[in-house]
C-alpha cells in the first residue's frame, strides 16, 4: 500500500499548491490513501467546511488538525457531520469530533488515522502517549486495522522522537507536524515504523512559518503586537512524505520526502515503480 501525507496547509497559497499537485500525485504514484493536515488552511488559523470539501475532492481521504482545530468557530458544529475530519485525540473529554478514524483505502485496506497534540512548549493536554496507546490497544495493527498512521502535532523534536520509539512496531508511521519546517530524518525505525520529526508546511516559505514576515519580525524586535498575522501569499511549496507499506505486516518499507513548487528544492518518490492505473 502507498500512503501520502501532506503537512500543514497554510492559507490561500498553501491551498492552491495542494489543489494543483495532489490529483497528479494521486494518479502518478497510484496512491492508495492520502492524509492532509489542514489546521492552518483558513487564513492560517483553522479550517472551514468549504475548504475541507475542496481537499477531499482533490484526493484527500481524511484531514487532520492540531492546536488551531477550532479557531474557525463553525468547526465546533460541522466537525460532527464530517467523519473525514480528525481533531487531536487528547483534547478534553466532550470536545466535538473524533481523535481517530478508521477509513477504507483504495486497495480495500482499513487505515486507522490518529491525530494527537504534544505537551512540551504547548498548552497542557492529556498525555498523548497514553491516549494513543489506548487507541491502538483497542484497534491493533493487522487485527483491527491494516495500517495505522499517527500525525503528532507537537513542538519539541524530542517528544516526537520519543513517541516514535514508544510506538515502534505497533503502528505504520509516526509523522510530526506543527513546526512548519521539513526535517531530513525520515527513516524506518528498528521495529518497522516509519518516522519523520516534521514533514514541513504546505505554504509560502518566503515567510515566517507561513506568515508574512513583517509582523513576526516586528514582534521579535519590540515584543509589541502591531497587527494580525496574515499568511504569506507568494508561490508555495507542497511538503509531504510518501510511505510504502508492507501489506502483510502493516509496517513501513520506506518513507520518502515530497516537496513540489515554491522555493524549496523539489523531490518526489521517483524510486517507486509505477503501477498500472
- The residues carrying an active-site annotation are 68
Measured in degrees and rounded to the nearest 5, phi and psi for residue 157 equal -60, -35
User: Residue 241: which of 31, 57, 16 has the closest Cα?
Assistant: 31
DSSP state of 196: E
Q: Which helix (H) or strand (E) holds 13?
A: helix 11-28
Residue 123 CA to residue 107 CA, distance in Å, equals: 38
For 64, the grid coordinates are 487532520
Residue 267 CA to residue 209 CA, distance in Å, equals: 21
Residue 21 CA to residue 16 CA, distance in Å, equals: 9
For 5, the grid coordinates are 501525507
DSSP 36-86: EE-TBTTTTS---HHHHHHHHHHT-SEEE--TTTTSSTTHHHHGGG-TTEE
* Cell 491551498, residue located: 15
Instruction: Residue count of the chain, please give it.
Output: 277
State the CB neighbour count (10 A cutoff) for residue 229: 17
Residue 219 CA to residue 230 CA, distance in Å, equals: 14
C-beta separation of 24 from 4 below 8 A: no
Amino acid at each position: 500500500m502507498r500512503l501520502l501525507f501532506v503537512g500543514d496547509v497554510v492559507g490561500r497559497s498553501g491551498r492552491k499548491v495542494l489543489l494543483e499537485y495532489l490529483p497528479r500525485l494521486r494518479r502518478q504514484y497510484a496512491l492508495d490513501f492520502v492524509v492532509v493536515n489542514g489546521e492552518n488552511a483558513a487564513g492560517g488559523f483553522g479550517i472551514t467546511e468549504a475548504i475541507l470539501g475542496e481537499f477531499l475532492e482533490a484526493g484527500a481521504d481524511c484531514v487532520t488538525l492540531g492546536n488551531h482545530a477550532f479557531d474557525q468557530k463553525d468547526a465546533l458544529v460541522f466537525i460532527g457531520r464530517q467523519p473525514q475530519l480528525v481533531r487531536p485525540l487528547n483534547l478534553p473529554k466532550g470536545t466535538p469530533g473524533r481523535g481517530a478514524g478508521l477509513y477504507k483505502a483504495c486497495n480495500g485496506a482499513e487505515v486507522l488515522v490518529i491525530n494527537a497534540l504534544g505537551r512540551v512548549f504547548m498548552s497542557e493536554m492529556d498525555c498523548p502517549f497514553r491516549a494513543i496507546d489506548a487507541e491502538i490497544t483497542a484497534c491493533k495493527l493487522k487485527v483491527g486495522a491494516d495500517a495505522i498512521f499517527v500525525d503528532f502535532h507537537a513542538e519539541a523534536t524530542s517528544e516526537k522522537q520519543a513517541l516514535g520509539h514508544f510506538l515502534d512496531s505497533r503502528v505504520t508511521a509516526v509523522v510530526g507536524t506543527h513546526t512548519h519546517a521539513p526535517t531530513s530524518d525520515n527513516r524506518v525505525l528498528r521495529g518497522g515504523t516509519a518516522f519523520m520529526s516534521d514533514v514541513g508546511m504546505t505554504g509560502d516559505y518566503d515567510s515566517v512559518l507561513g506568515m508574512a514576515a513583517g509582523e513576526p519580525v516586528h514582534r521579535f524586535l519590540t515584543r509589541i503586537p502591531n497587527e494580525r498575522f496574515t499568511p504569506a501569499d507568494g508561490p508555495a511549496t507542497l511538503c509531504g512524505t510518501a510511505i510504502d507499506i508492507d501489506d502483510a505486516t502493516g509496517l513501513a518499507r520506506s518513507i520518502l520526502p515530497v516537496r513540489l513548487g515554491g522555493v524549496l528544492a523539489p523531490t518526489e518518490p521517483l524510486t517507486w515503480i509505477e503501477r498500472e492505473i
